[in-house]
Amino acid sequence: MVSAPDWPSNRAAAERLVRQAAGAGAGLVLLPEYFCLIGHADRDKLELAEDAGHGPIQDFLAALAAELGIWLVGGTLPVRGAAEGRVLNRSVVFAPDGRIAGHYDKVHLFAFDNGRESYDEGRVLEAGTEPVALQAGPLRVGLSVCYDLRFPEFYRAMMRPPCDLICVPAAFTHTTGEAHWELLLRARAVENQCYVLASAQGGTHANGRRTWGHSMVIGPWGDILDELPEGEGVVMAEIEPKRLDSVRTQLPALRHRKL
């Protein structure tokens, strides 16, 4: 997606894309980080914040998952936390009956300053505290968000037992994404011997920010199975249990871990 500063237009785009993916046979769909809003200022997301479990964004996602009968990982949305004037950047997972199956609050908060671009999520976000993996039908799915990608030990913590799929909704900057996005995604797939699904913001937004995009699905051998460089669209691939078993049997790295 290339999300805008207003929820209604983002809702329409998200619904269109989720329906497109489900219509093509997807059983699990992942939206990008901040699919619901990329505002003109960091604090814009405070006005869109919802209580845990209910609100216009969560109710929309629940209804869509139930109607289409899919697992829907709602990218991220702002949820009110304990800290005044801050929100949690939460990824909520909806089961095919519309119930909330689990959620993850972004642990690692992005900060970057190269003299031309400056970001500090800690000004508005409250950090989560722990990694999360859950069962989504036949798949064990690990949840992460954007900047988490730079912390390999974070993914190791969710790999007992191993995940079949890791989800990475993101809004990587163009600068950092061009340098490191694909490299980090493929590394996480290879070292954890699992599929990685990365749904990203990709394009120039109304606030002037340019995100890197390159949404992709990566196999457990590090091969890119589908990719969309920029703009609005869908990437898809089939998760093959036999492929997971083959990689982990031929190269039993997960069993060789010492830490």
Active site residue ranges: 33, 106, 146
- Taking the CA atoms of 139, 194, 133 and 78 in sequence, report the sign of the dihedral they define: negative
Would you call the peptide bond into 161 cis, given omega within 30 degrees of 0 as the criterion? Answer: yes
Residue position matching structure tokens 């109304």: 206
Which residue type, as a one-letter code, is found at position 19?
R
Q: Three-state DSSP class for 28? A: strand
Please report where in the chains the tokens 């960091």 appear, as a residue.
42
Q: Dig out the tokens for 44 from the structure.
A: 């814009």
**DSSP run (H or E) holding 214:** none
Q: Give the DSSP H or E segment for 258.
A: none
CB 71 within 8 A of CB 62: no
3-class secondary structure, 108: coil
Residues in the chain: 259
195-200/87-94 β-pairing? unpaired
